[in-house]
Amino acid sequence: MTRSLPSPRLILLSAIVTLIFGLTTFTVTTVSTSGSLVWSDGLPYFLYARSAVLDLDTDITNEYEALDTRLPADSKLMIPLRNWTKRDPQTGRIVTPWPVGAGLVMVPFYALGYAVELAAATVFHRPPDSYGIIPQYFFGIGSLVFALLGFWAIFLACRQLTDSTAAYLASLGVILGGPAVFYIFLNPSMAHASSLGLISLLTLLWFRQWNDGTTARGMALLGLLLGTAFTVRYQSALFGILPLALMIRETRRTP
């Protein structure tokens, strides 16, 4: 079974190229959306991350009210939130249909962006903007990181079956042959890039469990990844078939 890893130099080069291309496309998106990198369904995910960092919860009621006042009634950025959120009549809290995990997995990136925003506000003698473009860009960089994780996980999974050239071509085909490019570079606030990274890692680890033998630790890790991926995008529950297949095979092997 082939297990050769890509060189650290190649991984670093891919990260640099992805970051440069990502920052360029982020700028294009920001210009085309009148100054915001976060838009569409990505807005509630961004607000989840903000709430988790600054309020230590996932209640975005105050975030919704702040943006509802800040942005005009015809704001395209607020269309999903205004159309799909409801206010609980008993608690007064805003209730949304979007999974909270998509924001929570991006918390480290938002937190780093907000730290940079605080530093910039101090240097330029202005109030920090927790909704500003700096936290938004770091939120988007999180999608780049998950996309890289997904690419290399796909490569390593393919590498167990074929040579490096075919594995690279297959991995690039997965990324470039579908909508991944759009969600990674042009709408990075959506949940698709983080889902790609988590599911690709899940598939790689499942592949190794299947080939090398199932362990309790490995199954627990698969369960953790699957549960996290489900909270990011509910559709990821379909990948529960992978650990289920392992369980069925182990049941047949064990008396």
Burial of 107 (C-beta count, 10 Å sphere; 0-12/13-18/19+): middle
pTM (whole model) above 0.85: yes
- Cα–Cα dist 154/2, whole Å: 14
Q: Which residues of 117-135 are buried (b: 16+ CB within 10 A; e: fewer)?
A: beeeeeeeeeeeebbbbbb
Q: What is the pLDDT of residue 9?
A: 94
Q: What is the pLDDT of residue 71?
A: 87
Angle at 194 between CA 175 and CA 239, to 5 degrees: 80
The mean pLDDT of the chain is: 93
Q: What is the pLDDT of residue 33?
A: 85
Chain segment 100-126, per-residue pLDDT in tens: 999 999 999 999 999 999 999 999 999
Chain segment 64-90, per-residue pLDDT in tens: 999 999 888 888 888 889 999 999 998
- How many CB atoms within 10 Å of residue 235? 13
Structure tokens at 144: 């780049």
Q: What is the pLDDT of residue 1?
A: 46
